């Protein structure tokens, strides 16, 4: 298995894949956003997507943890963190373009917040 992970049974539309030693299960999709669950342990958004220009919603312990956007090269380009505050303004949720999170965090847009809430409602998440 390479750093980009390995798929299991992608033909079903909902799938399982392993990335960085973490197993993710797809549980559905909302407005083109694939919703992935890690059922145990801490979770980090995959560094790479298997599809260009993909967006993943990452769920951990019944809570929406990340909304992560990937570029045309399958690499993570924007990360929205939902479960912790960040920066001097204590933003929650907040997003990063600087994926090492050394920036102060950026407020999410109204459209991003609508998408987040739609995903939470659809899958009954906190």
Q: Whose CA is closest to 75, among 102, 95, 56?
A: 56
Question: What is the token pair recorded at 41?
Answer: 């342990």
Structure confidence by residue, pLDDT tens digits, 11-65: 445 667 666 677 788 899 999 999 999 766 777 888 888 789 999 999 988 899 9
User: Which contacts of 59-64 are long-range, i.e. CB under 8 A and separated by 24 or more positions?
Assistant: 59/27, 59/35, 59/123, 59/125, 62/125, 62/126, 63/125, 63/126, 64/116, 64/119, 64/120, 64/123, 64/125, 64/126
Domain presence at residue 1: no
Domain presence at residue 58: yes
Structural domain of 88 = 6-123
* Residue-level pLDDT at 8: 42
Domain presence at residue 29: yes
Domain presence at residue 71: yes
Q: How many domains does the chain have?
A: 1
- How far is residue 90's CA from residue 26's CA, in Å, rounded to a whole number? 31
């Amino acid at each position: 298995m390479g750093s980009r992970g390995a798929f299991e049974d992608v033909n079903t539309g909902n799938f399982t894949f392993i990335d960085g030693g973490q197993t993710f299960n797809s549980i559905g999709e909302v407005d083109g956003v694939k919703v992935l669950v890690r059922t145990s342990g801490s979770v980090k958004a995959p560094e790479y997507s298997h599809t260009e220009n993909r967006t993943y919603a990452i769920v951990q312990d019944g809570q929406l943890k990340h909304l992560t956007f990937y570029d045309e090269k399958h690499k993570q380009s924007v990360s929205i963190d939902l479960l912790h505050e960040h920066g001097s303004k204590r933003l929650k949720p907040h997003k990063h373009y600087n994926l090492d999170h050394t920036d102060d965090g950026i407020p999410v847009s109204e459209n991003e917040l609508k998408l987040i809430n739609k995903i939470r409602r659809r899958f009954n998440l906190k």
